[in-house]
Protein backbone atom coordinates (compact mmCIF):
# COMPACT_ATOMS: atom_id res chain seq x y z
CA UNK A 1 0.00 0.00 0.00
CA UNK A 2 1.19 3.57 -0.64
CA UNK A 3 0.11 7.09 -1.44
CA UNK A 4 1.38 8.16 -4.87
CA UNK A 5 1.84 11.80 -5.83
CA UNK A 6 2.45 13.21 -9.28
CA UNK A 7 5.24 15.80 -9.25
CA UNK A 8 4.18 18.67 -11.48
CA UNK A 9 7.17 20.35 -13.09
CA UNK A 10 8.09 22.87 -15.76
CA UNK A 11 11.36 22.84 -17.69
CA UNK A 12 12.71 20.23 -15.29
CA UNK A 13 11.93 22.28 -12.18
CA UNK A 14 9.50 21.18 -9.48
CA UNK A 15 6.49 23.51 -9.36
CA UNK A 16 5.14 25.00 -6.16
CA UNK A 17 1.93 23.02 -6.61
CA UNK A 18 3.97 19.82 -6.37
CA UNK A 19 5.38 20.80 -2.99
CA UNK A 20 1.81 21.48 -1.82
CA UNK A 21 0.79 17.98 -2.94
CA UNK A 22 3.84 16.43 -1.28
CA UNK A 23 3.10 18.19 2.00
CA UNK A 24 -0.57 17.10 1.80
CA UNK A 25 0.45 13.59 0.72
CA UNK A 26 2.68 13.17 3.76
CA UNK A 27 -0.31 13.78 6.01
CA UNK A 28 -2.51 11.35 4.08
CA UNK A 29 0.23 8.70 4.19
CA UNK A 30 0.60 9.25 7.94
CA UNK A 31 -3.11 8.84 8.53
CA UNK A 32 -3.12 5.61 6.49
CA UNK A 33 0.14 4.42 8.06
CA UNK A 34 1.75 3.98 4.68
CA UNK A 35 4.58 5.16 2.42
CA UNK A 36 4.58 8.35 0.35
CA UNK A 37 5.84 7.71 -3.19
CA UNK A 38 6.39 10.39 -5.86
CA UNK A 39 6.41 9.96 -9.62
CA UNK A 40 8.75 12.59 -11.09
CA UNK A 41 8.79 12.82 -14.88
CA UNK A 42 11.78 14.64 -16.39
CA UNK A 43 12.56 16.46 -13.14
CA UNK A 44 16.23 17.45 -13.00
CA UNK A 45 16.66 17.47 -9.24
CA UNK A 46 14.29 15.47 -7.04
CA UNK A 47 16.27 16.05 -3.81
CA UNK A 48 13.99 18.94 -2.64
CA UNK A 49 11.15 16.41 -2.26
CA UNK A 50 12.85 14.98 0.84
CA UNK A 51 11.91 18.21 2.66
CA UNK A 52 8.26 17.13 2.48
CA UNK A 53 8.74 13.62 3.82
CA UNK A 54 8.62 11.73 0.52
CA UNK A 55 9.81 8.17 1.18
CA UNK A 56 10.55 7.15 -2.38
CA UNK A 57 10.86 8.86 -5.75
CA UNK A 58 10.26 7.03 -9.00
CA UNK A 59 12.38 9.05 -11.39
CA UNK A 60 11.32 8.74 -14.99
CA UNK A 61 13.62 10.42 -17.48
CA UNK A 62 12.22 10.20 -20.97
CA UNK A 63 13.07 13.24 -23.12
CA UNK A 64 10.31 12.34 -25.58
CA UNK A 65 7.73 13.01 -22.82
CA UNK A 66 8.71 16.67 -22.51
CA UNK A 67 6.69 17.50 -25.58
CA UNK A 68 4.30 14.58 -25.53
CA UNK A 69 0.61 14.40 -24.84
CA UNK A 70 -0.77 12.95 -21.63
CA UNK A 71 -1.32 9.32 -22.63
CA UNK A 72 2.25 8.08 -22.06
CA UNK A 73 2.36 9.81 -18.66
CA UNK A 74 -0.96 8.17 -17.75
CA UNK A 75 0.57 4.81 -18.72
CA UNK A 76 3.52 5.56 -16.44
CA UNK A 77 1.14 6.50 -13.62
CA UNK A 78 -0.79 3.23 -14.06
CA UNK A 79 2.41 1.18 -13.90
CA UNK A 80 3.67 3.12 -10.88
CA UNK A 81 0.32 2.54 -9.13
CA UNK A 82 0.55 -1.21 -9.79
CA UNK A 83 4.23 -1.45 -8.79
CA UNK A 84 3.78 0.49 -5.55
CA UNK A 85 0.35 -0.91 -4.66
CA UNK A 86 -0.89 2.67 -4.42
CA UNK A 87 -4.40 3.14 -3.10
CA UNK A 88 -4.43 6.94 -3.12
CA UNK A 89 -3.20 9.08 -6.04
CA UNK A 90 -2.77 12.81 -5.49
CA UNK A 91 -2.47 15.68 -7.97
CA UNK A 92 -2.14 19.45 -7.65
CA UNK A 93 -4.37 22.03 -9.25
CA UNK A 94 -2.33 22.87 -12.35
CA UNK A 95 -3.22 22.23 -15.96
CA UNK A 96 -1.16 19.01 -16.13
CA UNK A 97 -2.89 17.59 -13.11
CA UNK A 98 -6.31 18.57 -14.42
CA UNK A 99 -5.53 16.64 -17.57
CA UNK A 100 -3.90 13.59 -16.02
CA UNK A 101 -6.11 12.95 -12.99
CA UNK A 102 -9.37 12.19 -14.83
CA UNK A 103 -7.52 10.14 -17.45
CA UNK A 104 -5.84 7.88 -14.89
CA UNK A 105 -9.14 7.66 -12.98
CA UNK A 106 -10.86 6.38 -16.12
CA UNK A 107 -8.03 3.97 -16.84
CA UNK A 108 -8.05 2.49 -13.33
CA UNK A 109 -11.82 2.66 -12.87
CA UNK A 110 -11.10 4.72 -9.77
CA UNK A 111 -13.23 7.31 -7.99
CA UNK A 112 -11.93 10.84 -8.52
CA UNK A 113 -12.70 14.07 -6.66
CA UNK A 114 -11.25 17.34 -7.98
CA UNK A 115 -10.67 20.62 -6.17
CA UNK A 116 -10.39 19.00 -2.75
CA UNK A 117 -10.22 21.44 0.15
CA UNK A 118 -9.76 19.15 3.16
CA UNK A 119 -7.63 16.26 4.28
CA UNK A 120 -9.55 13.01 3.80
CA UNK A 121 -11.45 11.28 6.55
CA UNK A 122 -10.13 7.75 6.23
CA UNK A 123 -12.35 5.88 8.68
CA UNK A 124 -14.85 4.35 8.42
CA UNK A 125 -15.03 5.62 4.81
CA UNK A 126 -12.73 7.67 2.64
CA UNK A 127 -14.32 11.07 2.19
CA UNK A 128 -13.15 14.59 1.36
CA UNK A 129 -14.63 18.07 1.19
CA UNK A 130 -14.71 20.37 -1.78
CA UNK A 131 -16.17 23.73 -2.47
CA UNK A 132 -19.29 23.86 -4.68
CA UNK A 133 -21.75 26.46 -6.02
CA UNK A 134 -18.97 28.95 -6.72
CA UNK A 135 -17.72 28.74 -3.17
CA UNK A 136 -21.14 29.09 -1.54
CA UNK A 137 -21.30 25.51 -0.29
CA UNK A 138 -19.20 22.54 0.69
CA UNK A 139 -19.84 19.02 -0.59
CA UNK A 140 -18.63 15.97 1.31
CA UNK A 141 -17.79 13.25 -1.18
CA UNK A 142 -17.10 9.62 -0.36
CA UNK A 143 -15.00 7.51 -2.71
CA UNK A 144 -16.05 3.88 -2.84
CA UNK A 145 -13.44 2.36 -5.17
CA UNK A 146 -10.28 0.63 -3.91
CA UNK A 147 -8.08 3.28 -5.57
CA UNK A 148 -8.92 6.88 -4.72
CA UNK A 149 -7.80 9.85 -6.79
CA UNK A 150 -7.80 13.45 -5.61
CA UNK A 151 -6.70 16.75 -7.10
CA UNK A 152 -6.29 19.63 -4.67
CA UNK A 153 -7.91 23.05 -4.75
CA UNK A 154 -5.38 25.71 -5.67
CA UNK A 155 -3.38 27.13 -2.77
CA UNK A 156 -5.82 25.60 -0.26
CA UNK A 157 -3.25 23.97 2.00
CA UNK A 158 -0.24 25.32 3.87
CA UNK A 159 3.02 23.86 2.57
CA UNK A 160 4.57 22.19 5.60
CA UNK A 161 7.93 20.52 5.63
CA UNK A 162 8.69 17.21 7.34
CA UNK A 163 12.27 16.51 6.27
CA UNK A 164 13.55 12.99 5.88
CA UNK A 165 17.05 11.72 5.20
CA UNK A 166 15.71 8.28 4.24
CA UNK A 167 14.23 9.21 0.84
CA UNK A 168 15.20 6.73 -1.85
CA UNK A 169 15.31 7.45 -5.58
CA UNK A 170 14.59 4.67 -8.03
CA UNK A 171 15.07 4.89 -11.79
CA UNK A 172 11.66 4.11 -13.24
CA UNK A 173 11.43 2.77 -16.78
CA UNK A 174 7.84 1.84 -17.61
CA UNK A 175 6.67 0.72 -21.01
CA UNK A 176 5.42 3.86 -22.73
CA UNK A 177 2.96 3.94 -25.61
CA UNK A 178 3.34 6.34 -28.52
CA UNK A 179 2.00 9.82 -27.77
CA UNK A 180 -1.20 10.57 -29.64
CA UNK A 181 0.11 14.05 -30.41
CA UNK A 182 3.13 16.15 -29.52
CA UNK A 183 3.39 19.74 -28.34
CA UNK A 184 5.71 21.42 -30.79
CA UNK A 185 6.14 24.75 -29.07
CA UNK A 186 4.90 26.64 -26.02
CA UNK A 187 4.95 30.41 -25.99
CA UNK A 188 4.08 32.36 -22.89
CA UNK A 189 1.78 35.15 -24.00
CA UNK A 190 2.52 37.60 -21.26
CA UNK A 191 3.34 38.11 -17.66
CA UNK A 192 6.72 37.50 -16.09
CA UNK A 193 5.17 35.45 -13.29
CA UNK A 194 3.00 32.43 -14.14
CA UNK A 195 -0.58 32.70 -12.85
CA UNK A 196 -0.42 29.17 -11.42
CA UNK A 197 2.53 29.93 -9.18
CA UNK A 198 1.73 33.55 -8.31
CA UNK A 199 1.56 34.60 -4.67
CA UNK A 200 0.14 37.95 -5.80
CA UNK A 201 -2.08 38.68 -8.80
CA UNK A 202 -2.90 42.12 -10.17
CA UNK A 203 -6.05 41.83 -12.25
CA UNK A 204 -7.77 44.39 -14.45
CA UNK A 205 -11.30 44.70 -15.75
CA UNK A 206 -13.35 46.68 -18.21
CA UNK A 207 -12.99 49.73 -15.97
CA UNK A 208 -9.53 50.20 -17.46
CA UNK A 209 -11.21 51.23 -20.70
CA UNK A 210 -8.65 49.81 -23.16
CA UNK A 211 -5.58 47.70 -23.83
CA UNK A 212 -3.46 50.85 -23.98
CA UNK A 213 -3.91 51.38 -20.23
CA UNK A 214 -2.46 48.03 -19.18
CA UNK A 215 0.98 49.54 -18.62
CA UNK A 216 -0.10 50.64 -15.15
CA UNK A 217 -1.30 47.11 -14.30
CA UNK A 218 2.03 45.68 -15.43
CA UNK A 219 3.97 48.34 -13.55
CA UNK A 220 2.14 47.51 -10.31
CA UNK A 221 2.61 43.77 -10.95
CA UNK A 222 6.33 44.33 -11.58
CA UNK A 223 6.92 46.15 -8.35
CA UNK A 224 5.05 43.45 -6.40
CA UNK A 225 6.57 40.49 -8.26
CA UNK A 226 3.00 39.59 -9.22
CA UNK A 227 1.29 37.91 -12.16
CA UNK A 228 -1.24 39.81 -14.25
CA UNK A 229 -4.80 38.64 -14.90
CA UNK A 230 -8.04 40.03 -16.28
CA UNK A 231 -11.80 39.62 -16.38
CA UNK A 232 -13.51 37.74 -19.23
CA UNK A 233 -14.71 40.72 -21.28
CA UNK A 234 -11.17 42.10 -21.27
CA UNK A 235 -9.89 38.90 -22.88
CA UNK A 236 -12.93 38.68 -25.18
CA UNK A 237 -12.23 42.18 -26.46
CA UNK A 238 -8.62 41.22 -27.11
CA UNK A 239 -7.17 43.71 -24.64
CA UNK A 240 -5.37 40.82 -22.96
CA UNK A 241 -4.69 37.20 -23.95
CA UNK A 242 -7.22 34.55 -22.91
CA UNK A 243 -4.50 32.87 -20.85
CA UNK A 244 -5.00 35.72 -18.33
CA UNK A 245 -8.78 35.38 -18.05
CA UNK A 246 -9.73 34.27 -14.54
CA UNK A 247 -13.11 33.20 -13.22
CA UNK A 248 -15.68 30.49 -13.65
CA UNK A 249 -14.92 29.98 -17.34
CA UNK A 250 -11.32 31.09 -17.06
CA UNK A 251 -8.50 29.99 -14.82
CA UNK A 252 -9.39 29.53 -11.15
CA UNK A 253 -6.79 31.24 -8.97
CA UNK A 254 -6.19 31.50 -5.23
CA UNK A 255 -3.15 33.68 -4.57
CA UNK A 256 -2.29 35.12 -1.18
CA UNK A 257 -3.24 38.56 -2.50
CA UNK A 258 -5.63 39.31 -5.38
CA UNK A 259 -5.81 42.95 -6.45
CA UNK A 260 -8.90 43.64 -8.59
CA UNK A 261 -8.83 46.92 -10.47
CA UNK A 262 -11.87 48.15 -12.37
CA UNK A 263 -13.62 44.79 -12.02
CA UNK A 264 -17.26 44.84 -10.92
CA UNK A 265 -17.24 41.46 -9.13
CA UNK A 266 -19.79 39.50 -11.13
CA UNK A 267 -20.60 36.08 -9.69
CA UNK A 268 -18.79 34.35 -12.58
CA UNK A 269 -15.63 36.33 -11.88
CA UNK A 270 -15.82 35.74 -8.13
CA UNK A 271 -16.27 32.00 -8.70
CA UNK A 272 -12.68 31.78 -9.86
CA UNK A 273 -11.00 34.21 -7.47
CA UNK A 274 -12.96 34.01 -4.22
CA UNK A 275 -10.57 31.47 -2.71
CA UNK A 276 -7.80 34.10 -2.70
CA UNK A 277 -6.52 34.65 0.82
CA UNK A 278 -6.79 38.47 0.73
CA UNK A 279 -8.72 40.54 -1.83
CA UNK A 280 -8.04 44.22 -2.45
CA UNK A 281 -10.60 45.92 -4.69
CA UNK A 282 -10.08 49.27 -6.41
CA UNK A 283 -13.27 50.54 -8.03
CA UNK A 284 -14.79 53.96 -8.65
CA UNK A 285 -18.32 52.74 -7.86
CA UNK A 286 -18.92 52.32 -4.11
CA UNK A 287 -21.83 49.99 -4.96
CA UNK A 288 -19.65 47.60 -6.99
CA UNK A 289 -20.55 44.05 -5.86
CA UNK A 290 -16.88 43.14 -5.46
CA UNK A 291 -16.65 45.27 -2.30
CA UNK A 292 -18.95 42.78 -0.50
CA UNK A 293 -16.33 40.05 -0.74
CA UNK A 294 -13.26 42.28 -0.48
CA UNK A 295 -10.95 42.33 2.52
CA UNK A 296 -9.78 45.82 1.62
CA UNK A 297 -11.57 48.27 -0.65
CA UNK A 298 -10.49 51.54 -2.22
CA UNK A 299 -13.26 53.64 -3.79
CA UNK A 300 -11.76 55.84 -6.45
CA UNK A 301 -10.42 56.26 -9.93
CA UNK A 302 -7.93 53.53 -10.82
CA UNK A 303 -6.12 55.93 -13.13
CA UNK A 304 -5.23 58.08 -10.12
CA UNK A 305 -4.80 55.40 -7.48
CA UNK A 306 -2.79 52.69 -9.26
CA UNK A 307 0.16 54.87 -10.39
CA UNK A 308 0.33 56.41 -6.88
CA UNK A 309 0.25 52.98 -5.26
CA UNK A 310 2.99 51.74 -7.60
CA UNK A 311 5.16 54.77 -6.86
CA UNK A 312 4.62 54.36 -3.12
CA UNK A 313 5.65 50.70 -3.29
CA UNK A 314 8.71 51.59 -5.39
CA UNK A 315 9.72 54.26 -2.86
CA UNK A 316 9.25 51.82 0.02
CA UNK A 317 11.31 49.21 -1.84
CA UNK A 318 14.21 51.60 -2.32
CA UNK A 319 14.24 52.88 1.27
Q: Which residues bind ligand FAD (CB under 6 A)?
A: 205-207, 231-234, 247-250, 262-264, 266, 268-269, 272, 282-285, 288, 301-303
Task: Judge whether 295 and 280 are in contact, CB under 8 Å.
Answer: yes
For the bound state, the minimum distance from the C-beta of residue 294 to ligand FAD, rounded and expressed in Å, comes to: 12
> Whole-angstrom Cα distance, residue 91 to residue 42?
17
Instruction: State the minimum distance, in angstroms, from the CB of residue 108 to ligand FAD.
Output: 31
Q: What are the E-state strand segments in the chain? A: 2-7, 9-10, 13-14, 35-41, 56-60, 86-91, 111-116, 126-132, 137-143, 148-152, 168-171, 200-204, 227-230, 257-261, 278-283, 296-299
Any residues with CB less than 8 A from the CB of 124 and at least 6 apart, and which? Answer: none
> Residue 68 phi/psi, 5° resolution?
-100, 160
Is the Cβ of residue 217 or residue 288 nearer to ligand FAD in the bound state?
Answer: 288
Residue number, 135 or 233, with CB nearest to ligand FAD: 233
Smallest gap from residue 152 Cβ to ligand FAD (A)? 21
For residue 302, the minimal CB distance to ligand FAD (Å) is 3
* Smallest gap from residue 95 Cβ to ligand FAD (A): 16
Contact 234, 240 (CB under 8 A): yes
Given the complex with ligand FAD, which of 93 and 231 has the nearer CB atom?
A: 231
Q: 107 or 213: whose CB is closer to ligand FAD?
A: 213
Amino acid sequence: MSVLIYVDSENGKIKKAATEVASYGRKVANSLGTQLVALAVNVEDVAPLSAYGVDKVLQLNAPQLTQAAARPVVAALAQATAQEGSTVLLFGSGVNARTLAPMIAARLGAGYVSGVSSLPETTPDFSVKRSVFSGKGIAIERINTPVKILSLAHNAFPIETSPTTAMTVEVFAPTLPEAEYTVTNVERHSGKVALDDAEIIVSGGRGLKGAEHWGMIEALADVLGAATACSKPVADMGWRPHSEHVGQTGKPVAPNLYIAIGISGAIQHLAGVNASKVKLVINSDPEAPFFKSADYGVVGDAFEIVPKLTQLLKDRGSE
